Amino acid sequence: MKNRLLEVENLHVSFHTREGEVQAVRGVSLHIDHGETVGIVGESGSGKSVTAKAILSLIAPPGEITHGDIRFAGESLRGIPERKWRTIRGNRIAMVFQDPMTSLNPVKRVGDHLTEVIRRHRGLGRREALAEAVEMLRLVGIPEPELRVRQYPHELSGGMRQRVMIAMALSCRPELLIADEPTTALDVTIQAQILDLLKELKAKTSAAIALITHDLGVVAQVCSRVIVMYGGMVMEEGPVEEIFYRPKHPYTQGLLRSLPKRGGSSRERLSPIEGSPPDLRSAPKGCPFRDRCPHAMAKCGTMPPMVEVGEGHRAMCWLNDTDAQSDDHAGSGTEGGEGNGG
């Protein structure tokens, strides 16, 4: 437990809407170590972005953190005053959002975006801050940064704007960078450049990166550890090789199997996961994946435990619970043993 940078324990986030309480995050526990790159994978509604916002205390009404603890560098972040948050948010924990088109102020120059952050958090003067801003733009691979600081966001392409966002996030040398779908709005060739940049930054700086995405290809490319979320919960977590080559949760297995095979000829039939994600307005009891799971059994009506299935590899499924398997076989209609993933 020595290396933990961030620890989230049993986090619950709810949104109070007219249709009732929507439990977007239902008991998420995860950790991020110093200097590692963790992929948080899930589809829309899985709770991945809400978890990220909760870490930065950016949940606004009607949303609310109803339960759980978040510790950063050993200190709890729950309930600390907004004044103290300002020394953490943007400074020690920084975030990059999905849409580079709307996250920059259109009437401010690129340089002003950067110097605002640098002057506020690092207390530099105007001139030093501008020099630092130029350096940051150079670091993220923007050509002619001296000219770019004078330009407005609309004069930059999408990829360049996302680089500016990353430069802003990194300008205070954060210990943790949370990137929420940083490449989803970009073209594949630009995406590849941004991912290369993240890989490079991993080598150059000591920041830990939490990369939130729905794209398993992106995860395979940059992450060393993966957390798979579904229905507001963590389904499986483990080292990237374990998750891709030895997935233990039926959801992870299904997700990997539903992708078109590489090298396989075209027109080979895909194997989708049937059904659709659960409606969190009336969150199902027990495993959230139960309705779509090919291995569903009677026992899945109660919440499965998180079981250690390998070195640092855990999955939340009754299939991996050896005690449960031996006494539940008789009662299950459709159990199918270990699925083979990939």
Partner 1 sequence: MADEARPLVEVRGLKKHFVKGRDIWGRPTSVLRAVDGVSFHIRKGETFGLVGESGSGKSTVGRCILRLYDYTDGEVRFDGQDLSRLGDKQLKPFRRRIQSIFQDPYSSLNPGMNVLELIGEPMNIHGLYPGKEERAEVIAGLLEKVGLKRDHLYRYPHEFSGGQRQRISIARALSVRPEFVICDEPISALDVSVQAQVVNMLEDLQDEFGLTYLFIAHDLAMVRHISDRIGVMYRGRLVEVADSDELYDNPLHPYTQALLSAIPVPDPRAEIRRIRYEPHDWTGEPAELREVSPGHFVALS
Which residues contribute to the site for partner 1 (CB under 8 A)?
Answer: 43-45, 187-192, 195-196, 214-221, 240-241, 244, 254-256, 258-260, 262, 265-274, 276-277, 292
CB of 193 to partner 1, least distance (A): 8
Burial level of 71, CB count in 10 A (0-12/13-18/19+)?
Answer: middle
26: CB partners within 8 A, 6+ apart: 12, 47, 231, 232, 233, 280, 283
In angstroms, give the least distance from the CB of 113 to partner 1: 24
Yes or no: say if 150 and 109 are a contact pair by the CB < 8 Å rule: yes
Of 190 and 303, the one with the shorter C-beta distance to partner 1 is: 190
Burial 248-279 (b: 16+ CB within 10 A, else e): bbbbbbbbbbeeeeeeeeeeeeeeebeeebbe
User: In angstroms, what is the minimal distance from the CB of 323 to partner 1?
Assistant: 30
Q: How far is the CB of 33 from partner 1 (least distance, A)?
A: 19
Nearest residue (CB) to partner 1, 260 versus 337? 260
Distance CA 128, CA 191 (A): 31
Return the number of the residue (45 or 174) whose C-beta is nearest partner 1.
Answer: 45
* CB 244 to partner 1: min, Å: 5
- Supply the minimum distance, in Å, between the C-beta of residue 225 and partner 1: 11
Closer to partner 1 by Cβ: residue 131 or 273:
273
Closer to partner 1 by Cβ: residue 90 or 254: 254
Nearer to partner 1, 2 or 267 (CB): 267
DSSP letter at 89 equals B
**Cis, bond preceding 247 (omega within 30 deg of 0):** no
Question: 263: Cβ–Cβ under 8 A, 6 or more apart, which residues?
Answer: none
CA distances from 18 to 21, 22, 36, 45, 315 (A): 8, 10, 40, 18, 34
- Residue 19 and residue 36: Cα distance in Å, rounded? 40
